[in-house]
Structure 1
Amino acid sequence: MKKLLATSAVLASAIALTACQTTPNKQDLPAEIQPALKAQIQTVDVSKAHLGKMYLRPVQGGVQVFGKLTGLNPGSTYAIHIHENGTCANKGKDAGGHFNPLNKQHGHPSTPESHAGDLPNLTADANGVASINFVREDISVDPRVANTVYNRAFIIHAGADDYVSQPAGNAGDRMACGVIEEY
């Protein structure tokens, strides 16, 4: 009987902890708000420290990019871009340049004349947490089309994107990376 009670207590604790998690679970979300793609973001140094997750889902007018990163320097601003190749090898360098299927100039993501991989800068709060929630009109989560972001990579840079300097916004070294894959 004591063994059964102990097992029940462990099971109840596991269920309670699962209910407290903040990461979306596919089975818990209505189909219309489920992410289609995700990326685990890790530093590119030897520690491979986990910083957070990014999600992508189709919405009216484009693809919503949303997620949260932790462990950043409080008050610091970081560039985030979607890069060409779905790899984080070689300290993120093998991810290539910004995703740019229409061969546009680098610029602010709210302008139509910017790389498809250009996203707004992230600024960490006093706790080192930064979030993004942005709709990009010229990308797709459909792996069958040319502007898909499937099997590409998010790169977090050590500095802010100035949205002007070519070809990549003078954002500094690649400090974190995550391959975009199915949710």
Structure 2
Amino acid sequence: MDVPLILPFLLSLGLLLWTADVGVSEEDAICVLNTTNISGIVRFVQTSNWSVEVTANVTGLPPGPHGFHIHQYGDITKGCASAGGHYNPLSMNHGGPDSPVRHVGDLGNIVANTEGIVVHCHEYHNFTLQGTHSILGRSIVIHANADDYGLGGHNDSLTTGHAGARLACCSIVVSRLIVFSSVALNKILGLKNT
């Protein structure tokens, strides 16, 4: 096995086992970032009918703010380009996470410290993990630049927040599926399930 491929495999395996150990509910979802330089976990917990707590722990980003969005598709087979545009079922202009006019997928910015580490936790109130405006099967994209919340006056401010290139992305999936997958993975690897 190629050495550069071992680390992502081990990180994914560790995530699977960690998720199995902590116990998750049907109101949990997860997104695993795993590019050459950027890795991390974005976790989603449904806290009420229209509230989802989003926690992001990411490493390897350039220091500073980065646009953080839910994109239309969970397809990342061609990298972040196949994720489509921002999730926007209401056909609104781009805005900030608390703006009255915004895409459902506009989560604002995450900020990497001088070591490229992001620890972010915020409760959002306009999407769900099930039913109307569900984000399951969609993707998270982290961009190169800060999101201007549609206020920057650039030709793409009202569509993308002028957030720039797509640095990292991942598909949003139900955590329970990952727990199930860890059991299946253990069987494949010949490990004992506890």
Give TM-score, length-normalised by structure 2: 0.71
Is this contact kept in 2: 1:116–1:136, CA < 8 A?
Answer: no
Is this contact kept in 2: 1:80–1:154, CA < 8 A?
Answer: yes
- Quick one: distance in 1 between partners of 2:23 and 2:174? 17
Shift of 1:90: 2.6
Q: Which among 44, 53, 59 is matched to residue 70 of structure 1? A: 59
**Corresponding residue number in structure 1 for 2:102:** 114
Matches within 5 A, 1:1-183: 25-26=18-19, 28-29=21-22, 36-43=28-35, 48-60=36-48, 61-74=50-63, 76-142=64-130, 145-164=131-150, 165-183=157-175
Q: What amino acid sits opposite 1:63 in the alignment?
A: V
Larger Rg: 1
Deviations 1:156-183 (A, max 9, x none): 1111111111111011011100000111
Unaligned runs of 5+ in 2: 1-13, 151-156, 176-194
Give TM-score, length-normalised by structure 1: 0.75
Runs of 4+ in 1 over 3 A off after TM superposition: 21-32
Percent sequence identity is 30
Shift of 1:111: 1.7
Change in CA separation of 1:140 and 1:109 when aligned onto 2, cut-off 3 Å: same
Higher strand share: 2
SS of alignment partner, residue 172 of structure 1: coil
Change in CA separation of 1:163 and 1:139 when aligned onto 2, cut-off 3 Å: same
Is this contact kept in 1: 2:68–2:106, CA < 8 A?
Answer: yes
Change in CA separation of 1:50 and 1:35 when aligned onto 2, cut-off 3 Å: farther
**Corresponding residue number in structure 2 for 1:15:** none
Deviations 1:66-104 (A, max 9, x none): 121111223x21111000000123331111010111222
- Quick one: distance in 2 between partners of 1:152 and 1:110? 21
Cα RMSD after superposing both structures: 2.3
Change in CA separation of 1:90 and 1:30 when aligned onto 2, cut-off 3 Å: closer
- Quick one: distance in 1 between partners of 2:91 and 2:41? 28
Q: What amino acid sits opposite 1:179 in the alignment?
A: S
Matched length: 155
Higher helix share: 2
Is this contact kept in 2: 1:35–1:55, CA < 8 A?
Answer: no
Is this contact kept in 2: 1:101–1:146, CA < 8 A?
Answer: no
Unaligned runs of 5+ in 1: 1-20
